[in-house]
Amino acid sequence: MKNLDLFNFKLQGIFQHFEQNHKKKTAIFCAVASQIFFTAMYFCVTLLKGEYSSMQIINMRMITGFIFNTMYCQTNKIEVYSDQSKVFKLLTLRGLLGGLNMTFVFTCFTLMTISDGSILVNTSPIWTNFLAAIFLGEQLSKKAVGFCMLSFVGIILVCRPAFLFGQSESSEDKNQFLGTIYGLAGSFFVSLVAIVIRKLSKYNCNGAMHMQYHYFISIFFTSIILLTDSERPFVITFKFCITMLILSFSGFVAQLLQSKALSLEKASIISPMKYLQVLFSFLIDIFVLKSEVFVTSIVGAGLIILGSVGIVI
């Protein structure tokens, strides 16, 4: 046991030394790794769609995430509750917005392919730019507005509305449209969460503290919704448990890595890395799920990424 503790201590020392001397490389590595784990999480959601509702998936995701986060906080001796009234209110708001974000995002992935869903939920820079101007008083430049319009064209191409593309009113077309609405709504709430986190940054709150409120509040309201839903039975199988375990662990690690990356390097460098998730998602759709990938989705993804990166830089 002592030898194991000594090994862990030395390993931690090596990582800390590398981080101190190569902050940018460490940040980029964490950013890329976080997108791999985020993609794995969304892939697990697509594996469960059809058998389980988005609310059932989210409820179990929050419960297992809460357990992971609690263990992490206890191990690292991180305070998870604040006695400051203003901080408590901001953390509660962050938890509510995070729960709504997760609800919309997971529902989006139960309706669309993983690649189309990834494109839409990563449109948050568009919303953040406008919300920062409204709530934080940040200036909205003409360049940002132009790139937002470019991204909007990309969203139309991904959505493929029937009145423009002449598609039939099939269930797939309706799911594509509904998935777009849920994806954009999820992206909007991601931006609101970012605004609240910026306000919380003044109080030096640990990211794990943020997540504890997010998990707890989400568990509460998803449990109430599930108790009132008698139409769809919640059958817990071995496959469901294993998939949920991978899903929750991937999401937990992804969030930690993303927070680490943002603490080591500027957001303007780290934020564009999230579009690797779109690339990974297209690869999964093509080679793993064998889903049909439309040219309009590829072009739309390119325009959204170009517009979003243009806003950030």
Residue 293 lies in a domain: yes
Please give the residue range of the domain that contains residue 176.
Answer: 27-312
Residue 14 lies in a domain: no
Rounded Cα distance between 208 and 291, Å, is 36
**Domain count of the fold of the chain:** 1
Residue 217: name the closest of 118, 48, 76, 88 by CA. Answer: 88
Cα dihedral sign, 102-66-94-89: positive
Residue 20 lies in a domain: no
* Predicted confidence pLDDT, tens digits, the chain (313 residues): 544 454 444 445 555 666 667 788 888 888 889 999 999 999 999 999 888 888 899 999 999 999 999 998 888 888 887 778 888 899 999 889 988 998 899 999 999 889 899 888 888 777 777 777 777 666 777 777 788 788 888 888 887 766 556 555 555 656 888 888 999 999 889 888 877 877 777 787 777 888 888 899 999 888 888 888 766 777 889 999 999 999 999 998 998 888 788 777 776 667 777 888 888 899 898 889 888 888 888 888 888 888 777 766 6
Residue 4 lies in a domain: no
User: Can you name the residues that pair with 49 across neighbouring β-strands?
Assistant: 52
Element (H, E) at 66: helix 54-75
Give the burial class of 75: count Cβ atoms within 10 A of its Cβ; 0-12 exposed, 13-18 middle, 19 or more buried: exposed
Residue 68 lies in a domain: yes
- Name the token pair of 61: 């995701």
Rounded Cα distance between 144 and 254, Å, is 28
Residue 70 lies in a domain: yes
Determine the pLDDT at residue 207.
Answer: 77
The conformation of residue 50, written as its DSSP 8-state character, comes to T
Determine the pLDDT at residue 209.
Answer: 84
Determine the pLDDT at residue 8.
Answer: 47
Rounded Cα distance between 255 and 33, Å, is 10
Residue 113 lies in a domain: yes
Rounded Cα distance between 156 and 5, Å, is 54
**CA triplet 87, 89, 92: central angle to 5 degrees?**
105
Determine the pLDDT at residue 7.
Answer: 44
Residue 93 lies in a domain: yes
Q: Tokens 């940054």 label which residue?
A: 201
- Name the token pair of 196: 């609240």
CB 310 within 8 A of CB 139: no
The conformation of residue 49, written as its DSSP 8-state character, comes to B
Q: pTM above 0.85? A: no
Helix (H, G, I), strand (E, B) or coil at 16: helix
Rounded Cα distance between 207 and 264, Å, is 14
